[in-house]
């Protein structure tokens, strides 16, 4: 019970008592928790015949999204989908994201939009990122992004998808733990029905500008012989997998900038320099070269993710085996138990690695000569894994480069086009919704109101 309610404080107490490896029992299952980052490699690169990532993922797919797929080779699927989100496909995703962000963030200029408006920062960040991210991957209602009637349709449709998605997102953590009440199950079922219609194969087939990622995922499902209903369910599952992290990440990043004036000034200064160097006053599009010339922003993003990304890295133990730690200790793992790393506690919040680990320091990942700082130590030894928001090993995020580009584009477009400030500058940074530990980016316990207006 305590584990489900607040895994971070429960595991942190266990760590103080038992050290950096111990076994707990949750809902009848024995889970060995490993919290020594020097030893993570022995888990991350172990063969999938011994430590399996997919078995538990398939249980969650069913519990959260009612998705049951026939057997397939997940590593082959991953190679295919990774290619569609990286390398030669990245520029077209970045360009589409830029246009879609403009569509959802900058509606027709009218005098009213030049007045101060108030909104929850979490709601703003999550909705804009999800809507633009969804349009980028799943396609537009019509081909011409810049046509106002197409933009209006994209705005309306993506807003409907977001509103349903957000309601479902609030129920998913408890669905994953099989803790929904009968009324909540009914509510989740009806939201899912609505979303399956919005994401149906028929609707997707009629869209323009679909990404090669969605095209290749649709083809993969067809090759597996998955029927159309199950394909729509899989589309919703992928919407969550691809969109549940970037919006919350943007929320924390903007909130830290708004609360730390030196960080905001440093990011604004860097952004002005990047734009000025390219001879542009306002941005028309953001090249990869511009996106790669922002070491201060990169440090701010790494620091934000260090503080707010808390995925579990879980493996099912398929055969009795020995786990050897970096210091030479050996432990026996039993078949059918589970092994779990929780990088949020260590390395990310480990006071042996980071001074004042609970504090936001925007330049923590910057060297004196403005390059990325990569040397962090624990017990006198340099760490290979010192910040793991993207996971690592077999289950690294395959959308990382697209995610980083998308987050940067959103923040850059926002800061160049809008003035924004906290409604109450004294308001404290909210705590985390504690039920979300283990599932990726954390969300705040409550929203924070900001004021914003288009710059003159």
Which residues of this chain interact with ligand HEM, rule CB under 6 A? 78, 85, 133, 241-242, 245-246, 249, 309, 311, 389-391, 395, 397-399, 402-403, 440-441
Is 454 assigned to a binding site? no
Closest CA to 80 of 268, 286, 220, 239: 220
| Residue whose CB is less far from ligand HEM, 13 or 55 | 55
Residue nearest to ligand HEM (CB): 399
Length of the chain: 456
Shortest separation between residue 130's beta carbon and ligand HEM, angstroms: 10
| Residue whose CB is less far from ligand HEM, 123 or 453 | 123
Shortest separation between residue 395's beta carbon and ligand HEM, angstroms: 3
- On whether the CB atoms of residues 52 and 318 are closer than 8 A, the answer is yes
Is 63 assigned to a binding site? yes
Is 203 assigned to a binding site? no
Tell whether omega for the bond before 347 is within 30 degrees of 0, i.e. cis.
yes
| Residue whose CB is less far from ligand HEM, 140 or 242 | 242
| Residue whose CB is less far from ligand HEM, 79 or 208 | 79
Report the alpha-carbon distance of residue 392 to residue 51 in Å, rounded: 14
Token pair recorded at residue 107: 């509606």
| Residue whose CB is less far from ligand HEM, 232 or 387 | 387
- On whether the CB atoms of residues 176 and 439 are closer than 8 A, the answer is yes
Is 338 assigned to a binding site? yes
Report the alpha-carbon distance of residue 299 to residue 83 in Å, rounded: 27
Shortest separation between residue 129's beta carbon and ligand HEM, angstroms: 8
| Residue whose CB is less far from ligand HEM, 77 or 184 | 77
What lies within 8 Å, CB to CB, of 31 at 6+ separation is: 23, 24, 25, 337, 338, 339, 340
Is 340 assigned to a binding site? no
Token pair recorded at residue 383: 């760490």
- On whether the CB atoms of residues 385 and 39 are closer than 8 A, the answer is no
- On whether the CB atoms of residues 433 and 306 are closer than 8 A, the answer is no
Shortest separation between residue 190's beta carbon and ligand HEM, angstroms: 26
| Residues β-bridged to residue 156 | none
Report the alpha-carbon distance of residue 88 to residue 76 in Å, rounded: 19
Q: Annotated binding site, which residues? A: 63, 69, 245, 338, 397
Q: Annotated binding site for substrate, which residues? A: 63, 69, 245, 338
Q: Annotated binding site for heme, which residues? A: 397
């Amino acid at each position: 019970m305590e584990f489900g309610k607040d895994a971070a404080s429960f595991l942190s107490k266990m760590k103080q008592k038992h050290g950096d490896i111990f076994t707990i029992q949750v809902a009848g299952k024995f889970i060995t928790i490993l919290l020594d980052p020097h030893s993570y490699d022995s888990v991350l690169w172990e063969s999938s015949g011994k430590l399996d990532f997919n078995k538990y993922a398939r249980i969650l797919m069913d519990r959260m999204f009612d998705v049951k797929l026939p057997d397939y080779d997940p590593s082959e699927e991953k190679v295919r989908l990774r290619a569609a989100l990286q390398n030669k496909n990245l520029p077209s995703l970045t360009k589409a994201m830029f246009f879609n962000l403009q569509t959802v963030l900058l509606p027709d200029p009218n005098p009213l939009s030049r007045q101060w408006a108030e909104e929850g920062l979490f709601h703003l960040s999550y909705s804009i990122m999800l809507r633009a991210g969804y349009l980028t991957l799943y396609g537009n209602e019509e081909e011409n992004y810049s046509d106002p009637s197409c933009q209006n349709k994209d705005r309306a449709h993506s807003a409907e998808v977001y509103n349903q998605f957000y309601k479902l997102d609030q129920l998913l953590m408890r669905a994953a733990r099989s803790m929904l009440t009968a009324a909540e199950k009914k509510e989740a079922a009806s939201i899912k029905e609505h979303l399956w219609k919005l994401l149906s194969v028929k609707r997707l087939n009629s869209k323009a500008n679909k990404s090669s990622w969605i095209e290749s995922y649709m083809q993969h499902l067809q090759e597996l012989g998955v029927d159309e209903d199950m394909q729509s369910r899989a589309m919703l599952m992928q919407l969550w997998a691809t969109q549940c992290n970037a919006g919350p990440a943007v929320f924390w990043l903007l909130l830290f900038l708004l609360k730390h004036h030196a960080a905001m000034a440093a990011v604004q200064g860097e952004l002005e320099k990047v734009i000025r160097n390219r001879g542009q006053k306002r941005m028309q599009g953001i090249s990869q070269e511009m996106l790669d010339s922002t070491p201060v922003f990169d440090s701010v993003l790494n620091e934000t993710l260090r503080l707010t990304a808390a995925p579990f890295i879980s493996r099912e133990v398929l055969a009795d085996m020995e786990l050897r730690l970096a210091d030479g200790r050996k432990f026996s793992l039993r078949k059918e138990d589970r092994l779990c790393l929780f990088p949020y506690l260590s390395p990310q919040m480990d006071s042996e690695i980071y001074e004042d680990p609970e504090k936001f320091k925007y330049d923590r990942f910057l060297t004196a000569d403005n390059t990325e700082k990569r040397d962090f130590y624990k017990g006198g030894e340099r760490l290979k894994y010192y910040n793991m928001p993207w996971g690592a090993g077999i289950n690294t995020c395959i959308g990382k480069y697209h995610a980083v580009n998308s987050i940067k584009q959103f923040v850059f477009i926002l800061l160049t086009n809008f003035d924004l400030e906290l409604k109450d500058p004294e308001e404290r940074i909210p705590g985390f919704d504690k039920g979300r530990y283990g599932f990726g980016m954390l969300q705040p316990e409550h929203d924070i109101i900001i004021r914003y207006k288009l710059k003159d």
